[in-house]
Amino acid sequence: MKRTLLLGITITAISLSGCKKDSEDKATPVAVYIVGQQNLTPGGVQVAKLWKNGVATTLSDTTKNSYVYSVFVSGNDVYACGYEVGIKFTARLWKNGVATTLPSSADRAQASKVVVSGNDVYVAGSTSDGARLWKNGVEMTISNSKNYINVTDMAVIGSDVYICGYEFTGGKTIARVWKNGIATNLNDGKNTTFAAALAVSGNDVYVAGSEYINSKSIAKVWKNGIATNLTDGRQEATASGIVVKNDSIYVCGYESNGTLNIVKLWKNGRETSLTDGKSAAEAYGMSIVDNDIYVIGYEQLATGAAAIMWKNGTATSLTDGKTEAMAQAIFVK
């Protein structure tokens, strides 16, 4: 069960949705905020959900499909963003559970990442006319294109805004990073490549994603545009979240065992499996606070797919699996 974004064509996306790796260093974590979506009934409407310390709140209209991909906590305020499906796709920002429509000149819009910096609220997303950034609710164009563009992650460092994503063009997707609106491609367009999540540490920009080589998806990390493979290409694999902490690079994602996907955590390229491969599972985002590593996603239980959080490798179910659910992003405060 992979998250799929629909803005003109259907592409199975990894992003994570984060994705996806929101983190804030504090001495003592007070609360764990997770967002995602869950079907109200088996096969029914999907609603946007927020879990605080495992307690669920419904964010969206329960009559329409809604998706939420990012959460950020600033002071006492909890922000989340995503989109609602009606006559068209409408980008949404929730503040403390109250929804606001993000205005767009395009026919269809979705929000993928929210970050609060100082008094400013930044939301990155995609529209049917290209990549967009909303600052305090005002839409700004990052890239105009009728091609399918999916924005997957964002970081705000001082006055610099970093955004990653990919564009579908010429029958392939090109992974891309925008810094203050200036685009840099992460590949030459020969292979299909996805950028799922990013992290900025000092002067270095890290991007987690994947590249199709010989028809197999390889999990990758780019550091300042230079790629390192996390997997060898013998099985399908995807990197979906990234955190850089204390000079170590942590990446979450998933890799097939030939039948099912196994949730993976890589630290400086060395992998650990978080699931045993007996049931399907995928990871979409992560956070690290103090010495605790949180990864979120879903796992197929006996009854169905459940939203899951793994803390230091130990799984906690946010839902019972009676209706399909997945966790898309996490913020630990």
Residues of the chain with pLDDT under 50: 1-26
Burial class (CB in 10 A: 0-12, 13-18, 19+), 1: middle
Q: Is 277 helix (H, G, I), strand (E, B) or coil?
A: coil
| pLDDT score, position 25 | 47
The yes or no reply on domain 4-332 and CATH 1.10.30.50 is no
d(CA 120, CA 86) in angstroms, rounded, equals 29
d(CA 135, CA 73) in angstroms, rounded, equals 17
Q: How many residues does the chain have?
A: 333
| pLDDT score, position 279 | 97
| pLDDT score, position 29 | 54
| pLDDT score, position 7 | 40
- What is the average pLDDT score of the chain? 91
Contacts of 220 (CB under 8 A, 6+ apart): 208, 209, 210, 211, 227, 228, 229, 230, 239
d(CA 333, CA 75) in angstroms, rounded, equals 10
d(CA 167, CA 142) in angstroms, rounded, equals 13
Burial class (CB in 10 A: 0-12, 13-18, 19+), 311: middle
Alpha helices in 116-219 (DSSP H): none
pLDDT digit string (tens) for 147-203? 999 999 999 999 999 999 999 988 899 999 999 999 999 999 899 999 999 999 999
Of residues 242, 238, 197, the one with CA closest to residue 218: 238
Three-state secondary structure readout of 10-35: EEECCCCCCCCCCCCCCCCCCCEEEE
d(CA 7, CA 65) in angstroms, rounded, equals 15
| pLDDT score, position 171 | 87
| pLDDT score, position 28 | 60
- Write down the pTM of the prediction: 0.91
